[in-house]
């Protein structure tokens, strides 16, 4: 209904402006047409004002609507409304809440008392925002790069007895993709239930023939938010960036790696691919699986919240684990709020690795205040990114980071794609959410938050190894960069809200 209303307004704007500017109609008709045109713009501006955004954003969009005829309205539809997404996924959000209402909290553990007060407060915040409690009866294993991740996933797939559930942003029908598809088809033919969700935009490299092959073999395949015809399809902006595998309620995988040959470093244009994935066992697998099941209910209308799929085997863990999903179907800015809270709890160190660093104002302020408190802050980003805008938008933040004595490193060995944050060597986040505005506010994401686990030690070791492959950004030399580089950075930063 909303898209139809937007389309009607768009047509009216085009017609009335065309009559006023280009027609030979009498002046009274031209006057009437421009009055209708202005009435529409004032109506849109009034609705925009009622949304109570920040004043500068509201004024910016009002200026765009009035001073860029038609184009301003189109850009507003596609970009200006990205924040106001409650109506787009309201039905999913309400349905998810209903499905999750009978989910029980995890078993309490005396290990809770081993957490610092700040860590306990952060864990309670996670539970408040995500309804997922902390689990001390789960264990994780860090998988470094594709050469550890894909063999682990393939081994788990081959051992599947009951069901295999997969959800990927990018899944390509290339060599590694077809290898996984072959296993899925073989397993489906033996009676293993297989459900597979892929994102419509991220998985453009998944061929129709590959999808047909899976369906013919008995794999239940659904596309998340398929691209629909029509100029005003706003959901094009909201993508499912999650990477989830759950097998038999025994083992699961989540992290930065999609499925494609480049994730094994086999794309010569990209080269070496540095990434981090996580293998998960134990009761926290329930939260990971619940996210898949909620998405599955959305794409298929099939409710799988039964003991068959929610039952997991408890594992003896060495620390706490909490799973958090975020996106347009949850409270706005969940991941941003949690990243902010992690940064503010830091006493000694904050280590971040992310392929895209386009933070909001709150996160920038949190980092600056942490640096002012004397907290050691290190940031690793790739030297060469996979896009002009993301590369230079990221670099546009270097000057203010360096001014606040935040150490910035550029990873030189290849493309760094892992999404890691380590706080004081005791708490960490691993998952799919980048530190950019798209991940923090637009995409469907999922992260694992770790407390005092052995996996954090592995992450620290890997981070130290990555620093050895980096070039530290020199404050003075970067300050003296050329005008062309500054121009590229400033231009790319203009697009930060949609990167």
Place of tokens 């033919």: 189
CA-to-CA dists, residue 252 to 139, 183, 230, 312, 467, angstroms? 11, 17, 37, 11, 29
241: annotated active-site residue: yes
Assigned architecture for domain 90-103+139-315: 2-Layer Sandwich (3.30)
Q: What is the Cα–Cα distance from 477 to 474, expressed in whole angstroms?
A: 5
Q: Which two tokens stand for residue 476?
A: 């003075």
CB 281 within 8 A of CB 269: no
The pLDDT of residue 235: 60
More reliable by pLDDT, 25 or 332: 25
CA-to-CA dists, residue 476 to 393, 399, 403, angstroms? 20, 10, 10
Please, is 465 exposed, middle or buried when counting C-beta atoms within 10 Å of its C-beta (0-12, 13-18, 19+)? Answer: exposed
Catalytic residue among 144, 243, 441, 462: 243
107-132 pLDDT, tens digit each: 888 899 999 999 999 999 999 998 89
User: For residue 472, what are the β-bridge partners?
Assistant: 409
- Rounded to the nearest 5°, which phi and psi values hold at 496? -55, -35
135-150 pLDDT, tens digit each: 999 999 999 999 999 9
Catalytic residue among 241, 441, 462, 488: 241
Can you tell me the mean pLDDT for 151-178?
97
Say what percent of the chain tops pLDDT 70: 93
Residues 6+ apart with CB under 8 A from 131: 100, 103
The pLDDT of residue 313: 81
CA-to-CA dists, residue 109 to 133, 135, 310, 455, angstroms? 12, 8, 21, 19
147: annotated active-site residue: no
The pLDDT of residue 195: 98
The pLDDT of residue 53: 67
Among the residue ranges 104-113, 144-153, 426-435, the one predicted with the least confidence is 104-113
Can you tell me the mean pLDDT for 152-165?
97
Q: What is the Cα–Cα distance from 130 to 122, expressed in whole angstroms?
A: 12
The pLDDT of residue 304: 92
pLDDT at 103 over 60: yes
417: annotated active-site residue: yes
CB 238 within 8 A of CB 444: yes
How many other CB atoms are found less than 10 A from the CB of residue 212? 11
174: annotated active-site residue: no
CB 221 within 8 A of CB 199: no
The pLDDT of residue 23: 87
424: annotated active-site residue: yes
More reliable by pLDDT, 88 or 211: 211
Catalytic residue among 187, 213, 378, 419: 419
pLDDT at 339 over 60: yes
Q: Where do the structural domains in the chain lie, given as residue ranges?
A: 2-80, 90-103+139-315, 334-498
The pLDDT of residue 211: 97
Mean pLDDT, rounded, of the chain: 90
pLDDT at 176 over 70: yes
Catalytic residue among 295, 424, 436, 466: 424
pLDDT at 58 over 80: no
Can you tell me the mean pLDDT for 465-476?
95
228: annotated active-site residue: no
352-389 pLDDT, tens digit each: 999 999 999 999 999 999 999 999 999 999 998 877 88
Catalytic residue among 199, 248, 295, 466: 248
CATH fold match for the domains 90-103+139-315 and 334-498 = yes
The pLDDT of residue 139: 95
For the segment(s) 334-498, the CATH number from 3.90.1150.10, 2.40.40.20, 3.30.870.10, 3.30.56.10 is 3.30.870.10
The pLDDT of residue 351: 98
Eight-class DSSP state of 474: P
């Amino acid at each position: 209904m909303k898209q139809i209303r937007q389309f009607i307004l768009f047509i009216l704007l085009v017609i009335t402006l065309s009559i006023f500017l280009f027609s030979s109609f009498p002046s009274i008709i031209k006057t009437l047409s421009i009055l209708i045109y202005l009435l529409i713009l004032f109506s849109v501006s009034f609705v925009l004002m009622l949304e109570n955004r920040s004043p500068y954003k509201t004024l910016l969009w009002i200026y765009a609507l009035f001073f860029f005829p038609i184009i301003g309205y189109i850009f507003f539809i596609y970009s200006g409304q990205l924040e106001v997404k409650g109506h787009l996924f309201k039905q999913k959000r309400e349905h998810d809440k209903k499905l999750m209402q009978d989910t029980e909290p995890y078993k309490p553990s005396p290990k809770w008392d081993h957490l610092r007060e700040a860590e306990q407060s952060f864990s309670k915040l996670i539970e408040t925002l995500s309804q997922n409690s902390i689990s001390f009866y789960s264990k994780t294993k860090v998988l470094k790069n594709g050469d550890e991740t894909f063999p682990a996933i393939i081994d788990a797939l081959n051992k599947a007895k009951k069901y295999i559930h997969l959800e990927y942003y990018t899944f390509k029908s290339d060599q590694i993709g077809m290898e996984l598809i072959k296993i899925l088809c073989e397993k489906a033919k033996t009676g293993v239930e297989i459900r597979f969700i892929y994102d419509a935009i991220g998985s453009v490299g998944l061929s129709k023939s590959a999808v047909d092959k899976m369906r013919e073999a008995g794999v239940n395949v659904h596309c998340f938010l398929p691209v629909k015809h029509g100029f005003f399809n706003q959901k094009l902006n909201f993508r499912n960036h999650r990477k989830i595998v759950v097998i038999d309620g025994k083992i699961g995988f989540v992290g930065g790696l999609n499925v494609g040959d480049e994730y094994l470093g086999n794309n010569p244009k990209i080269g070496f691919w540095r990434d981090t994935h996580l293998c998960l066992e134990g009761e926290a697998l329930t939260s990971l699986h619940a996210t898949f099941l909620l998405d599955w209910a959305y794409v298929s209308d099939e409710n799988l919240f039964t003991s068959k799929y929610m039952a997991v085997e408890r594992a003896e863990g060495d620390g706490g684990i909490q799973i958090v999903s975020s996106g347009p179907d949850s409270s706005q800015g969940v991941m941003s709020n949690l990243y902010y809270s992690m940064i503010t709890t830091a006493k000694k160190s904050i280590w971040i690795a992310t392929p895209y660093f386009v933070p909001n104002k709150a996160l920038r302020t949190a980092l600056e205040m942490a640096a002012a408190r004397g907290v050691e802050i290190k940031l690793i980003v790739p030297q060469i990114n996979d896009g002009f805008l993301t590369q230079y938008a990221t670099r546009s933040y270097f000057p203010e980071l360096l001014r606040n004595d935040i150490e910035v490193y550029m990873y030189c060995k290849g493309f760094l794609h892992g999404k890691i944050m380590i706080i004081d060597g005791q708490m960490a986040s691993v998952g799919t959410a980048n530190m950019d505005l798209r991940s923090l506010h637009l995409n469907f994401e999922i992260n694992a938050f770790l407390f005092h686990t052995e996996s954090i030690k592995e992450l620290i070791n890997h981070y130290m190894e990555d620093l050895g492959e980096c070039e530290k950004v020199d404050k003075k030399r970067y300050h003296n960069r050329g005008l062309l580089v500054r121009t590229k950075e400033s231009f790319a930063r203009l697009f930060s809200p949609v990167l």
